[in-house]
Amino acid sequence: MTNTTGPLDGRVALVTGAAAGLGQEFAVALAEAGATVAGLDVADQSATARRVGATYLAVAADVTDPAQVKAAVASVAAQHGGLHVLVNNAGIYPPIPFEDTTPDDLRRILAVNVEGAFYCAQESLPHLRRAGWGRIVNVVTGAIFVGPPDIVAYTTSKAALVGLTRSLATAVGADGITVNAIAPGLVRTDTAARSTGADGGFERVAGMQRIPRVGEPADLLSTLLYVCDPATSFLTGQTINVDGGSAFL
């Protein structure tokens, strides 16, 4: 696949956690909308590169390491002549009972899900400001609205990202930069299946939704493109819930 003319033509986008799952789908969707896309991950990104095409830039970095993030963002901006869109997608969600969550468990979840997004936004911001236009998208979870009992630490970390979204939106609104969050429900990916059991609990969750089917990665793409679109310039600090209606129950 090669980049095509679209609403993001001429823009450079960086997606964290781009090796597989939602991150890979986000990278492909942004490229199809015209963006030049880079991905940041600790895992091999060859599958994403094959789908996006020759313009894809795969950068190996750990989002929990500020030095690695700094070098990765600088590399993307240098090779592509700037940066305009950051999608903070990297995250982990081990289903650990609250009583069994160790300090190390909690620190690891917060480091990846919160600190990683913070560092990536911090390093990306000068480039977005220099461009005079930017979009930061934080991927959170619909779980923050329903409070499932088996992922307390994960839900806590993603709720923190909502706070980051709102505060950062206030800080950068005058710079032509918007900051929004997307809150997916349980979406069918290999990562979700590994993290939440043999069948991922997909059918069980689907039965609790207003829209009683399993969420798929494609269900999130229109929302991602909407918040990244240059025409969506008056929406910021918002968390858009895309969970099939679970939060209404």
Exposure letters 31-44 (e unless 16+ CB within 10 A, then b): bbbbbbbbbbbbee
β strands within the chain, DSSP E: 12-16, 36-41, 57-60, 85-88, 134-139, 177-184, 239-242
| 3-state DSSP of 147-183 | CCCCCHHHHHHHHHHHHHHHHHHHHHHHHCEEEEEEE
Of 123, 136, 132, the closest CA to residue 77 belongs to 123
Kindly state the tokens that stand for 190.
């290999």
Kindly state the tokens that stand for 220.
């999130």
* Set 56, 93, 119, 154: catalytic member: 154
Ramachandran angles phi, psi of 172, nearest 5°: -120, 5
Distance (Å, whole) CA 80 – CA 37: 9
Q: What angle do CA 202, 203, 207 make, to 5 degrees?
A: 120
Of 39, 90, 37, the closest CA to residue 60 belongs to 39
Q: What sign does the CA torsion over 247, 244, 154, 240 have? A: negative
Distance (Å, whole) CA 117 – CA 44: 20
Task: Note if 93 is an active site residue.
Answer: no
Query: Could you give the residue numbers annotated as active site?
Result: 154
